[in-house]
Amino acid sequence: MKNIHAKFTFGLALFILLLIACQNSDNKKKQAGDKGRWLEEMTIPKLQFGYREGQFSVADVVSAYIDRIMEIDMNGPALNSVLVINPDAMEIAEELDKEMAEGKKAGPLFGVPVILKDNIDTHDRMATTAGATVLKNSFAPADSYVAAKLREAGAVIIAKSNLSEWANFRAKVSSSGWSGVGGQTLNPYVLDRNPCGSSSGSGVAVSANLCMAAIGTETNGSIVCPSNNNGIVGIKPTVGLISRSGIVPISYTQDTPGPMCRTVTDAAIMLGALTGIDPNDGKTKQSEGKALKDYSKYLNADGLSGKKIGVIKNLMGFSDKVDTLMRRAIADMESKGAVVIEVDAPESAGYENASMEVMLYEFKDGLKRYFASLGEKAPVKNIKELIEFNRRDSVELKYFDQKILIDADKKGDLASPGYKKALEQMLLATRKNGIDKIMKENKLDALIAPTGSPAWKTDLLNGDHYVGGSSSLAAISGYPAITVPMGFIGEMPVGITFFGRAWSEPLLIEIAYGYEQMTLHRKPPRYLVTD
């Protein structure tokens, strides 16, 4: 009887040990599939609180984000938003941990892992490619102003992101998020949907929690559209608030970098760290006395109260479902004390056509200057040589043409009467007779419109299928815009854009934050296979 009891006891113990071992194995498998899960939806204030309290180190955080990039972006579901991981990221993180241990004063972005769109120069072991094969081995001779400001503020540049090649200014027909260097970036909500561009990789990386924040660039829609399609917050600042030096250009008049984050709070913190007057970018001189180093004081949860806002009705109507979300958003704002009235913007055809002319002239001039900045290592010297390179390359023209490059090459210099006329026309229509006029006549604090439609299915044969959007008025005027999640249509996020006069970032942040805090529409993606 004792032997039977002993065998039973031994067997039971063995069963329990095996059960525990299996559970531990399952837990390990789960953890392996959820690397960096503890960082999901982390904000900059919470991250820096964790550093101060010793909950984790910068090295812990950077390592976890790199693991997530390797797992989610480069393996399953393979979002393809990141082109290259910074080989020096861990060394930088460890140095920051050492500085903290020594009690050195921390910058406003201390230990914040940031991903840069890969048209922003970094003087390190990461190339700056603009997504183009011709630049795949091009290493910048100096940091861009933006990269330098990030490092100065204590951020860790952990990677560079994929983008629509040449910031989507190359082909008559193209797929946003595709580049010759990186291929096609996927939308993290539904994988066969498009992330929009050109800051596609930046938007996807933020949404999928592959970094704390990212920097995108916009000429017309390239921050706000990927923010819309990927369910995040994007700020397109007034042109000149943040320097463009060291960024592969399209338009001197319209280009601007800007933060892309999961919350208005993080975007406001990022924005303040990037401002400043740069002698290498004349536009920044205009920000003197207007730029701030800290926009977080405008994070007012009651920011909608007493505000008069104009909804631009002729930027609606492209989607009944989007219009339904806009009506709900308006009702929400009114419930918090805002007054919302309907207004009309000038018809866009005239100023959009003029803008295209300006961009063609400025792209030709700007690219020539950028190639010259690379010195003797520049693979080409101008657009003409770039066009010829693409014709010989096996990847560059596989899916899409280069009509925009060809059209730009035909333009003259910036002294051309055609350029000057188009520039004057577009600025008059969007500024004096556009945003400034609408807001003055109606005594408005801000304007609103739906940012865009839900993401379309990616199509490498026929290109993008835009339904509608509202980026042009703010982009062409050079005025600020902030997009915030407004809700979902099916599984796809949709945003609302707040925009206004030049240098009105503080007011727009206050209004956008008030709306965000009362609605909290942001939710992380689930990497669905189909909608």
Which CATH number characterizes residue 421's domain?
3.90.1300.10
pLDDT band at 71 (very low <50, low <70, confident <90, very high): very high
CB-based burial label for 95 (10 Å; 0-12, 13-18, 19+): middle
pLDDT tens by residue, 305-356: 999 999 999 999 999 999 999 999 999 999 999 999 999 999 888 899 999 9
Tell me if 342 is assigned to some domain: yes
Consecutive H or E run containing 147: helix 145-152
Is 207 noted as a catalytic residue in this protein?
Answer: no
pLDDT of residue 349: 83
Lowest mean pLDDT among 30-39, 469-478, 496-505: 30-39
For residue 198, indicate whether it is catalytic.
Answer: yes
Mean pLDDT, residues 46-68? 98
Q: Which of 57, 144, 175, 198 is catalytic?
A: 198
Split at pLDDT 50, 70, 90, the class of 531 is low
pLDDT one-digit tens code per residue, 18-48: 333 334 333 333 333 366 899 999 999 999 9
Question: Among 14-18, 209-213, 432-436, whose mean pLDDT is lowest?
Answer: 14-18
Q: What does the pLDDT look like over 367-402, one tens digit per residue?
A: 999 999 999 999 999 999 999 999 999 999 999 999
Q: Does some domain include residue 374? A: no
Distance CA 409, CA 387 (A): 9
The catalytic residue among 222, 245, 287, 472 is: 222
- The answer to whether residues 257 and 120 touch, using CB atoms and an 8 Å cutoff, is yes
Strand 233-236 and strand 256-261: the pairing is antiparallel
Segment 173-202 shows an average pLDDT of: 98
User: Residue 491 in contact with residue 190, Cβ under 8 Å?
Assistant: yes
> Residues 411, 415, 420, 422: what is their CA dihedral angle, to the nearest 10 degrees?
0
Average pLDDT over residues 155-171: 98
The per-residue b/e assignment along 408-445, b for 16 or more CB within 10 angstroms, e otherwise, is: bbebeeeeeeebeebbebbbebbbeebbbebbeeeebb
Q: Are 485 and 232 in contact (CB under 8 A)?
A: yes
Backbone angles phi, psi at 393, to 5 degrees: -85, 145
**Model confidence pTM above 0.95:** no
pLDDT tier at 5, thresholds 50, 70, 90:
very low
Asked whether residue 25 is domain-assigned, the answer is no
| pLDDT tens for each residue of 82-120 | 999 999 999 999 999 999 999 999 999 999 999 999 999
Whether residue 407 lies inside any domain: the answer is no
Range of the domain at 197: 38-353+415-519
Q: Is residue 410 part of a domain?
A: no
pLDDT in tens, 214-234: 999 999 999 999 999 999 999
117 noted as active-site residue: yes
Mapped onto helix, strand or coil, the DSSP state of residue 149 is helix
Q: Does a structural domain hold residue 14?
A: no
Q: For residue 248, is pLDDT > 50?
A: yes
First to last CA, the chain: 63
Catalytic residue, chosen from 35, 57, 63, 117, is: 117
Give the count of domains, the chain: 1
Whether 400 maps to a domain, the answer reads no
Higher pLDDT, 23 or 410: 410
Which pLDDT score is estimated for 350? 84
Which residue type does 270 have?
Answer: M
Instruction: Residue 371: name the closest of 128, 78, 101 by CA.
Output: 128
Q: Hey, what are 3's tokens? A: 């032997």
Three-point CA angle 144, 149, 155, nearest 5° = 110
In a domain, 369, yes or no: no
pLDDT at 36: 85
State the SS3 of 320-386: HHHHHHHHHHHHHHHHCCCEEEEECCCCHHHHHHHHHHHHHHHHHHHHHHHHHHCHHHCCCCCHHHH
Provide the 8-state DSSP code for 70: I
